[in-house]
């Protein structure tokens, strides 16, 4: 059977390299590829489920058009689909301007060919885009402001650490390959500490589990800094040479005693002291923050405070030491590698473009007036259940006159479409991808012909550009490749041309380290900040974001410690963590995954359940002013009291869409989505 080297393009840390075998046009076998040092043990259960995903009988294989009045869909030809879309685009552009069309693209799959979408909409003459990101901007911006660049040590360097702090991160489920290096560090005498309101699978290997109140991480970090400074457990020489703003930061940290932090975080004071002792005494130390804990309205400042712990102890630029959040060293094709790419454009680029907040998508769509939005094109995303404030997002989509969704399956967003176009899988078109945890560039090789009438998105855009009357020369100038494997390869070769170390021929053999990769990040102690130092005091933070120039702590906007209608009515923090069984809203529709993840449930601490007279397995209502879920309860002694937890990614049709309860808010830094500022109550049903 033919064997192809390829890589998983999902929005996941690991971006696994894999070998796939194909027989008679069907995917038969998926195996590990040892050429990727970060993922030598191969794909997870989700990766193995690609065999089902590619050939699923539920996959959309033809263009579908909504049947008026019925809510159902009918198969139509590509001729009718393209003409219908072109007619709508011409009309809306003429009547309201090109910005009346929203182009929504998300992170469902990575690849250089994703850029063809924006190329098309620029050729069209303009569009409404989104700014910000649902995933990680607060942490990206906190890192950029402090260190100057988003990069970290190679994944395998973690084995050299003597102290590893997983802060709001559950690698055993969300980055399973990292556990290999954590285990190596532990076997070499290292210690693992987990900071998380939940007792996760990762915590089972930890020396110490600290469970702060959700959204209080910044206070904990500042108290740790205060203890380190008081105990003189800091690296004076490193601070003198490489840190800006230490005296000012010291004064800020003094405001947060261990006693005060214990009151804020609900962490016993003795554990705060113990963690400070570990940080002061054990080197090299690595802190690895998760994405979930930076999705609060105060989280950018919190992450600045956490990074400061490494700066004042000299744990940056050394093997086994440093800050792990996002490693953009493989993002060599991006015009801009840092979070500025998520901001609204400050200067026009010649395209009539309007930007609306992805964090406040529903609100901004409904508020658009110059011009009002008339149409949406959605690809690589499922915004209705996945964006904050699902009820408003749903209302905004239903207010549009026309909706096109490019999809593989009948998701919640696809169900709202007027026209659905069948999307390719990762095996049906070649592409080049990077990663955000390891440093490899990889070729996602084409291994199968698209089934049915599936067309790659790049081909859809090419055909639509033709239908709109653009010449071949105009389409080529817009960098929209023609249909066919040769044109796609030419597109990829052009992208690879500035990097002679990277060729399609080399990438076909296996993953390649990105040019310029620094295995130990900042080992040269060069920090591309305005001062050239690690900036604990950042004038840019104050100027750009209106926050304190120093890391600071303030309560999240929706918190039990704030006097508000929400805090009086809803006494539980609603947590919506990721799970090993899904990547957000992908994979759980597959039978292979449903065997281990059949239905949603809400986790409650037994004490919270007792107070509400809730027993294991009973149906409960999780609600606030924005919406409700009705799910069975599962009692969990490992969950911090005062919290309720439902894993994110369930569809509305599956009964567990967590953003029915969230509000569209932005983080303090980076225009991220502050989903997790969210209070609820839980009560028995019936």
Residue range 196-207, pLDDT digits in tens: 999 999 999 999
Q: Which residues contact 144 (CB under 8 A, 6 or more apart)?
A: 150, 338, 339
Say if CB 457 and CB 116 are below 8 A apart: yes
Output the CA torsion 82→88→91→92 (10° steps).
Answer: -130
The span from the CA of 220 to the CA of 564, in Å, is 24
| Nearest one of 494, 439, 520 to 38, comparing CA atoms | 439
Q: Residue 572 above 80 pLDDT?
A: yes
Residue 91 has pLDDT above 90, yes or no: yes
Average of per-residue pLDDT across 497-512 = 94
- Return the pLDDT at 71: 78
Overall average pLDDT of the 380-398 stretch: 96
Cis before 371 (ω within 30): yes
Collapsing DSSP to helix, strand or coil, 137 comes out as helix
Rounded to whole angstroms, the Cα distance separating 181 from 169 reads: 15
Q: What is the mean pLDDT of the chain?
A: 94
Sheet of 375-379, strands arranged across:
73-75, 64-66, 419-422, 402-407, 375-379, 101-105, 126-131, 352-357
Residue 508: name the closest of 135, 35, 154 by CA. 35
DSSP assignment of 217-245 equals HHHHHHHHHHHHHHTT-S-HHHHHHHEES
Q: Give the Cα separation of 464 and 120 in Å (integer).
A: 9
Give me the pLDDT at residue 569, please. 94
User: Any alpha helices (H) in 15-71, and if so which ranges?
Assistant: 45-48, 50-55
Query: How large is the average pLDDT for residues 143-149?
Result: 97
> 438 and 15 in contact (C-beta within 8 Å)?
yes
* Token pair of 373 as six digits: 């939005």
Fold of 64-132+346-433+440-513: Rossmann fold (3.40.50)
pLDDT computed for residue 420 by the predictor: 98
Check: CB of residue 583 under 8 Å from CB of residue 381.
Answer: no
Domain ranges within the chain, ordered by starting residue: 3-55, 64-132+346-433+440-513, 138-329+525-545, 565-684
**SS3 assignment, position 253:** helix
Note the pLDDT of residue 246.
98
pLDDT level of residue 562 (50, 70, 90 thresholds): confident
Compute the distance between CA of residue 106 and CA of residue 326 in angstroms, rounded to an integer. Answer: 18
Q: CB under 8 Å to 237, separation ≥6 — which residues?
A: 314
Q: What is the pLDDT of residue 346?
A: 47
Q: Using one digit for the tens of pLDDT, what is the confidence trace for 616-650?
A: 999 999 999 999 999 999 999 999 999 999 999 99
Q: Is the pLDDT reported for residue 565 higher than 90?
A: no
**Close Cβ partners of 251 (under 8 Å, ≥ 6 residues apart):** none
pLDDT tens digits, one per residue of 205-226? 999 999 999 999 999 999 999 9
| Of 6, 2, 4, 3, nearest in space to 444 by CA | 6
Structural contact between residues 185 and 161, judged by C-beta atoms closer than 8 angstroms: yes
DSSP state of 402: E
Does residue 284 have a cis peptide bond before it, meaning omega lies within 30 degrees of 0?
yes
Q: Under 8 Å CB-to-CB from 467, ≥6 apart: which residues?
A: 82, 83, 85, 86
- What residues does 30 pair with on adjacent strands? 20
Q: In sequence order, what DSSP letters do the residues of 73-110 get, joined into one string?
A: EEE--HHHHHHHHHHHHHHHHHHH-GGGEEEEE-SSS-
Percent of the chain, pLDDT > 90? Answer: 91
Architecture of the 565-684 domain: Beta Barrel (2.40)
**pLDDT confidence bin for 335, thresholds 50/70/90:** low
Is the confidence at residue 250, as pLDDT, over 50? yes
Determine which of 230-239, 329-338, 486-495 has the lowest per-residue pLDDT on average.
329-338
Tokens of 597: 């993840």
Tens digit of pLDDT for each residue in 41-89? 989 999 899 999 999 999 999 999 999 877 799 999 999 999 999 999 9
d(CA 340, CA 330): 17
Domain at 138-329+525-545: CATH architecture: 3-Layer(aba) Sandwich (3.40)
- DSSP 3-state of 506: helix
Q: How far apart are CA 313 and CA 246, in angstroms?
A: 12
Model confidence at 341, pLDDT cuts 50, 70, 90, reads very low
- Is residue 337 over pLDDT 80? no
In angstroms, rounded to a whole number, what is the distance separating the alpha carbons of residues 407 and 666?
Answer: 28
Residues 538, 531: Cα–Cα separation, whole Å: 9
Residues whose CB is less than 8 angstroms from the CB of residue 43 and which lie 6 or more positions away in sequence, other chains included:
8, 16, 18, 30, 32, 50
Cα separation, 458 vs 379, in Å, equals 12
CB 434 within 8 A of CB 333: yes
Q: What are phi and psi of 553, to 5 degrees?
A: -125, 135
Report yes or no: 127 and 133 within 8 Å, Cβ to Cβ. no
- List the CATH code of the domain at 3-55: 2.20.25
138-329+525-545 and 565-684, same CATH topology: no
For tokens 């569009």, the residue is 127
CA distances from 58 to 54, 410, 590 (A): 10, 8, 9
Over the stretch 391-426, which tens digit does the pLDDT of each residue have?
Answer: 999 999 999 999 999 999 999 999 999 999 999 999
Find the Cα–Cα–Cα–Cα dihedral 182, 185, 190, 196, rounded to 10°.
Answer: -10
CA distance 557 to 545: 16
User: In the predicted model, is pLDDT for residue 359 greater than 50?
Assistant: yes
* Nearest alpha carbon to residue 658 among 586, 576, 603, 585: 576
Angle at 349 between CA 345 and CA 350, to 5 degrees: 135
Any residues with CB less than 8 A from the CB of 595 and at least 6 apart, and which?
A: none
**Judging by beta carbons within 10 Å of its beta carbon (0-12, 13-18, 19+), is residue 65 exposed, middle or buried?**
middle
Q: Is 342 helix (H, G, I), strand (E, B) or coil?
A: helix
Q: What tokens were used for 10?
A: 């999902």
The answer to which of 331-335, 510-514, 523-527 has the lowest mean pLDDT is 331-335
Within a 13 Å sphere around the CA of 611, how many CA atoms are in the beta-carbon half?
10
The pair of three-digit structure tokens given for residue 415, joined into one six-digit string: 């169900």
Three-state DSSP state, 130: strand
Radius of gyration of the chain (CA): 25
């Amino acid at each position: 059977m033919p064997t192809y080297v390829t890589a998983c393009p999902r929005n996941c840390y690991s971006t696994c390299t894999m070998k796939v075998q194909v027989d008679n046009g069907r995917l038969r076998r998926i195996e590990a590829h040892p050429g990727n040092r970060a993922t030598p043990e191969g794909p997870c259960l989700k990766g193995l489920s690609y065999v089902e995903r590619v050939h699923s009988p539920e996959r959309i294989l033809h263009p579908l058009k909504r049947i008026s009045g019925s809510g159902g869909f009918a198969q139509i030809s590509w001729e009718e689909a393209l003409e219908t879309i072109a007619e709508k685009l011409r009309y809306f552009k003429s009547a309201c301007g090109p910005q009346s069309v929203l182009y929504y693209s998300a992170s469902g799959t990575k690849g250089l060919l994703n850029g063809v979408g924006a190329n098309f909409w620029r050729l069209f003459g303009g569009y409404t885009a989104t700014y910000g990101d649902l995933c990680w901007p607060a942490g990206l911006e906190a890192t950029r402001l402090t260190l100057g660049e988003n990069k970290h040590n190679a994944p395998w360097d973690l084995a050299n650490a003597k102290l590893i702090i997983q802060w709001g991160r559950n690698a055993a489920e969300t980055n399973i390959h990292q556990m290999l290096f954590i285990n190596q560090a532990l076997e070499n005498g290292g210690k693992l500490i987990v900071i998380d309101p939940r007792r996760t699978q990762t915590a089972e290997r930890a020396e110490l589990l600290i469970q702060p109140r959700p959204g209080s991480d910044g206070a904990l970090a500042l108290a740790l800094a205060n203890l380190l400074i008081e105990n003189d457990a800091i690296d004076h020489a490193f601070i003198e040479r490489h840190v800006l703003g230490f005296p000012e930061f010291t004064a800020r940290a003094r405001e947060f005693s261990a006693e005060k932090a214990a009151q804020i975080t609900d962490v016993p004071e003795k554990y705060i002291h113990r963690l400070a002792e570990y940080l002061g005494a054990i080197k090299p130390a690595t802190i690895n923050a998760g994405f979930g804990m930076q999705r609060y309205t105060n989280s950018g400042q919190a992450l600045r405070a956490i990074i400061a712990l490494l700066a004042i102890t000299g744990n940056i630029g050394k093997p086994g030491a440093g800050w792990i959040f996002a490693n953009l060293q493989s993002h060599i094709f991006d015009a801009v590698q840092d979070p500025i790419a998520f901001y609204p454009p400050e200067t026009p680029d010649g395209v009539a473009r309007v930007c609306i907040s992805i964090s406040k998508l529903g609100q901004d769509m409904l508020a658009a007036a110059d011009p009002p939005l008339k149409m949406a094109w959605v690809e690589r995303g499922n915004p209705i259940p996945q964006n904050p404030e699902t009820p408003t997002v749903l209302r905004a989509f239903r207010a549009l006159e026309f909706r096109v969704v490019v999809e593989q399956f009948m998701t919640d967003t696809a169900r709202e479409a007027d026209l659905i176009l069948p999307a390719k899988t990762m095996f049906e078109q070649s592409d080049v991808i990077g990663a955000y945890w390891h440093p490899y560039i990889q070729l996602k090789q084409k291994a199968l012909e698209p089934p049915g009438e599936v067309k790659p998105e790049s081909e859809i855009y090419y055909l639509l550009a033709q239908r709109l009357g653009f010449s071949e020369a105009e389409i080529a100038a817009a960098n929209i490749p023609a249909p066919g494997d040769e044109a796609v390869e030419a597109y990829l070769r052009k992208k690879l041309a500035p990097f002679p170390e990277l060729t399609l021929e080399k990438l076909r053999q296996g993953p390649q380290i990105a040019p310029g990769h620094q295995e130990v990040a900042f080992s040269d102690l060069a920090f591309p900040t305005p001062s050239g130092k690690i900036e604990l005091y950042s004038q840019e933070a104050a100027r750009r974001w209106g926050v304190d120039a120093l890391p600071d702590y303030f309560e999240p906007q929706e918190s039990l410690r704030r006097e508000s209608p929400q805090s009086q009515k809803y006494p539980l923090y609603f947590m919506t963590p990721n799970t090993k069984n899904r990547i957000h809203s992908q994979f759980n529709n597959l039978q292979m995954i449903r065997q281990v993840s059949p239905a949603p449930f809400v986790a409650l601490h037994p004490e919270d359940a007792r107070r509400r007279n809730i027993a294991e397995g009973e149906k409960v209502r999780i609600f606030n002013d924005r919406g409700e879920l009705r799910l069975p309860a599962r009692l969990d002694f490992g969950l911090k009291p005062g919290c309720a937890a439902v894993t994110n990614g369930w569809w509305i049709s599956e009964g567990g869409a967590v953003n029915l309860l969230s509000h569209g808010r932005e983080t303090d830094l980076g225009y991220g989505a502050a989903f997790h500022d969210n209070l609820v109550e839980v009560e028995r049903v019936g």
